[in-house]
Amino acid sequence: MSTKIVIYDTTLRDGSQAEGISFSLEDMVKIARRLDEAGFDYVEGGWPGSNPKHEEFFQSIQKIPLKRTKIAAFGSTRRASLSAADDPNLRALVESGAPVATIFGKSWDLHVTDALRIPLEQNIEMIYDSVKFLKEHCEEVFFDAEHFFDGWKANPAYAISALKAAEAAGADCVILCDTNGGCIPSKIQDALNAVFAEIKCPVGIHAHNDSETAVANSIVAVQAGACQVQGTINGFGERCGNANLCSIVPTLRLKLGLDCLSDEAVANMTSLSKYVDEVANVVPNDKMPFVGRSAFAHKAGIHVDAVMKQPLTYEHIRPEQVGNARRVLVSELAGASSIVMKAERYGVDLNKKSPETKDVLDQITRLENQGYSFEGAEASFELLLQKSVGTYHKLFDLKSFRVMVEQRGTDPEPTTEATLRVVVDGQEMLTVAEGDGPVHALDNALRKALVQFYPEQIKHIKLTDFKVRVLDAKEATAAGVRATVESTDGKSSWNTVGVSANIIEASWHALVDSVEYGLLKMMAKENGS
């Protein structure tokens, strides 16, 4: 096993092949700078030969002094009909000004005969010529052996001859690609062993996640001797994604003790993951290992109890090592320990035996029997906690509401109108508003009532998600309904919950908690408390 493992990020190139992801030029530059700060060795910027936006990226990034990262330009081996020096694609790599050129070439005989439709030997010459030409103009040249593992299975001698051609032409690293993502770890292991018997130059791994084994395959390859890992932040990539560097880097560093990114960079992995999701405008996957919001969230009472005594019991690493945090979920499965632990996070000092703890626990049990679920509604839980310990400060009092949805034959859209009677600061307000649906109309009416009292605060609070769950299917439309609302003030977000037999009332409760929580939070901050 090499002790220095080079990390090569291809979020901007292979990652942008993911469904729903499209980076602007600014996005690309932002991500590259952030990866440089984190100390990534290489960042692949794109295909200068085939994409004008990528070409611009290479121009822009040259003007920015990078601390550590080397930028790589991506392309393919020369065309069969042209010499390397005449190939516009290879010239574009050189002209991009990137110090590193990475080119892919065929190593699976089927692709040579069926896709390129040229003799097998000619493909080997194309690899040799292309690497040799680039080596004359770039600091470093990497060769991505596309479909290496499938090629090696079909025709091992041919697949390895492709690597040998790149090596002979001076490639600084040959990267074995599981392009279709179909490999399992044992196959990676066998292939790497065969490669190391014949190849002396550094070897890298580039895995895809179609078998849900991309991370494992990358780690197995490193253990077998690979010294470069190619992947993407959050596993972005075509189909099921590329190997996820947010899982691979912490594993290499924390579990195998290898030299890749610094401990400090690993401790910023959660923030890096969130940043890239934010730039890509992608909803974060809470379940993501290491960096996801649920990665260290405990629900079962038995687990919560044990984690409080000794985190090692149900955590494979300390969450701080990757910049993440432990979360205790309040649920029917939890007990007094979780209440105490949660209260602590909100600066409320409780102990297992105190009457407030019992009061909170009783209320939660009662509410959960009604269908409440606080595990995804931390803000409603915090309000309940404040009410129990007496730190809650009421901002408004609801007297009544009315919602009307009406559809007339000729109108394609129904009309929705909400009317509210609210007392704020001793003053009774009657407001009415329309909306696309009942919750939207209620939200608008509530804002109308509150805007003159909290003009600055209310405009920062935005509803970002709204979910509904029917609780007991047996009674169908007469069953209970649980609504959860997510809001944000632009910096952080919070979730609240409401339950009722009536979908409108359930949504209303969640909405009221959400707005009240946001206002209280901002006012606490303004008061410096």
Q: Which of residues 464-483 bind its own copies (CB under 8 A)?
A: 464-474, 476-479, 481
The single-letter DSSP state of residue 187 is H
Q: Please, which residue, 228 or 500, has the CB nearer to its own copies?
A: 500
Closest CA to 5 of 213, 266, 278: 266
One-character DSSP codes across 4-73:
B-EEEE-TTTTGGGSTT----HHHHHHHHHHHHHTT-SEEEEE-TTT-HHHHHHHHHHHTS--SSPEEEE
Tell me which residue of 31, 47, 150 sits closest to 102, measured CA to CA.
Answer: 47
213 binds its own copies (CB under 8 A): yes
Considering beta carbons, is residue 170 or 284 the nearer one to its own copies? 284
**369 touching its own copies, by CB under 8 A:** no
The backbone torsions φ and ψ at residue 10, rounded to the nearest 5 degrees and listed phi first, read -125, 30
Start-to-end Cα distance in the chain: 52
> Is residue 465 helix, strand or coil?
strand
Which residues, at least 6 apart from 344, have a Cβ–Cβ distance to it below 8 Å?
350
Which residue in 194, 20, 184 sits closest to 107, CA to CA? 194
Report the residue number, 194 or 256, with the smaller CB distance to its own copies. 256
Shortest Å, Cβ 257 to its own copies: 13
Q: Smallest distance from the beta carbon of 300 to its own copies, in angstroms?
A: 6
Q: Restricting to residues 339-368, which ones interact with its own copies according to CB under 8 A?
A: none
Q: Which of 424, 501, 522, 523 binds its own copies (CB under 8 A)?
A: 501
- The continuous run of DSSP H or E covering 518 comes out as helix 503-526
The one among 375, 382, 513, 516 contacting its own copies by CB under 8 A: 375
- What is the residue type of 329? L
Judged by CB, which is closer to its own copies: 164, or 342? 342
486 scored as a contact of its own copies (CB under 8 A): yes
Closer CB to its own copies, 92 or 169, in the complex: 92
* Closer CB to its own copies, 169 or 328, in the complex: 328
- Least Å distance, CB 381 to its own copies, is 14
Dist CA 392 CA 389 (whole Å): 8
Residue 492 within binding range of its own copies, rule CB under 8 A: no
Among 102, 268, 380, 416, binds its own copies (CB under 8 A): 416
Window of 125-133, 281-289, 353-361, 517-525 that interacts with its own copies by CB under 8 A: 281-289
**Minimum CB separation from its own copies for residue 147, in Å?**
8
Residue list 31-90, contact with its own copies (CB under 8 A)? none
From 11, 89, 107, 179, residue interacting with its own copies (rule: CB under 8 A): 179
The reply to whether 26 sits near its own copies by the rule CB under 8 A is yes
Is 435 a binding residue for its own copies by CB under 8 A? The answer is yes
Nearer to its own copies, 167 or 230 (CB): 230
Interaction between residue 211 and its own copies (CB under 8 A): yes
Q: SS3 sequence, 343-373?
A: HHHCCCCCCCCCHHHHHHHHHHHHHHHHCCC
At closest approach, how far in Å is the CB of 183 from its own copies?
8
What is the DSSP code string of 259-324? BSS-HHHHTTHHHHHHHHHHHHT----TT-TTTSTTTTEE-SHHHHHHHHH-GGGT-SS-GGGGT-
Helix (H, G, I), strand (E, B) or coil at 149: helix
Of 11-19, 80-88, 134-142, 516-524, the window that binds its own copies (rule: CB under 8 A) is: 11-19
Applying CB under 8 A, which of residues 155, 180, 363, 386 lies at the interface with its own copies? 180
Choose the binding region for its own copies from 157-165, 358-366, 424-432, 458-466 (rule: CB under 8 A): 458-466
Output 147 or 164, the one with its CB closest to its own copies. 147
CB of 158 to its own copies, least distance (A): 16
x/- map, 284-323, its own copies, by CB under 8 A: -xxxxxx-x-xxxxxxx--x--x--xx-xxxxxx------
CB of 298 to its own copies, least distance (A): 7
Q: Which stretch binds its own copies (CB under 8 A): 165-173, 268-276, 395-403, 447-455?
A: 395-403
Q: Please give the size of the binding site for its own copies, defined by CB under 8 A.
A: 124
331 vs 363 by CB, closer to its own copies: 331
Closest CA to 174 of 152, 195, 154, 151: 195
CA dist 308 to 302, 305, 331, Å? 10, 5, 17
**Alpha helix ranges (H) inside 137-224:** 148-154, 156-168, 185-196, 214-224
- Using the minimum distance from each CB to its own copies, give the nearer residue, 389 or 433: 433
Of 364 and 389, the one with the shorter C-beta distance to its own copies is 364
Of the candidates 244, 268, 380, 457, which one interacts with its own copies according to CB under 8 A? 244
Q: Which of 81, 413, 455, 490 binds its own copies (CB under 8 A)?
A: 413
Burial of 280 (0-12, 13-18, 19+ CB in 10 A): buried
Q: Alpha-carbon dihedral of residues 17, 14, 38, 27, nearest 10 degrees?
A: -40
C-beta separation of 489 from 460 below 8 A: yes
Residue type, 30: K
